[in-house]
Structure 1
């Protein structure tokens, strides 16, 4: 996988190749989408983006 990241004054080229397995990304060009930094991290770790129960969001309530 190759990715460009803009740092404000120039681009950083990121390159990653999995030794075992493959990246869990759709081969359909219709499935192009924006991903969050957390999803990008999961993708670089070789994990699937389609695991809604893998990471549970926690919402905190303010004390009165």
Structure 2
């Protein structure tokens, strides 16, 4: 297991609720844009939680891609 220090990334947002973990980058980016009015390519970190709360997806843009 690897632990990542998210403090070096600046703002970290946890998207509360149940996210369908089958969603891809485009769909998760749309959630960030439309529901939260944030820019998914801002360099901020967005964490999504699955229905069972045992799986997470992270969306992060590093100037080269997600």
* Both proteins in one fold, TM over 0.5: no
Answer 1 or 2: higher relative contact order, Cα 8 Å, separation at least 6: 2
Larger strand percent = 2
| TM-score calculated relative to the size of structure 1 | 0.27
Structure with larger Rg: 1
Larger helix percent = 2
